[in-house]
Structure 1
Amino acid sequence: MEELLQPSTEEYWKTYTDTMENKKVDVYTISNNDSIEQVQHYTTIRKYLDGSNVVEERKTNISLRYTYPKEMEPLLFENGLDILHVYEDWNKSLLSKDSEEVIYVCKKR
């Protein structure tokens, strides 16, 4: 749910050091949610710094579609899969209302 509430204006996310270019990088994101298509469009902006001056800016885009468990289950069934297990992570932890991921183990019918 948190992912769908991201701001549609440029917002600071984090800073890291690019060891290949030996530059500090400030990372910003812009997020737009298309609620009709259920797609979240993200732009990530990396600002490469030399001291406090931005010397280069690189942008990448990704579009993600989030599917909730009650939507996913019929989709899997309709496509010939039976759900064997549902986990919240790759450690096979049980799914809870606070889970950030859903892992389905399925078998083809």
Structure 2
Amino acid sequence: MKLKFAKNGKALMYNIIKMTIMSQKKVIFSPKNWSRIATLWTRLQQSFRLMVGVPDYQTYLNHMQQHHPDLEAMDAKTFYRYCVDARYPSAGGGLKKCPC
């Protein structure tokens, strides 16, 4: 297989993913591994969200339950609004700063 990253980078990645899945087909599609795949998918989603600055609500709920059982946790909408406001604060309650 020739490696031409500049011209065929997308096609190359597709082929690598396809070969990996096809070589591990019995492992991936085995019912006993579905929970592992679901866990992996959940953690990948969490990692990607953290990369772009979106915190994980379930982690927040777990933290509140373990460390602050006497306090009431925010609902999901309030939690995300709080995180966005903390990341992009406004001066004097005016318009938010542009995140770009």
Return the TM-score normalized by structure 2: 0.22
Q: Which structure has more helix as a fraction of its residues?
A: 2
Return the TM-score normalized by structure 1: 0.21
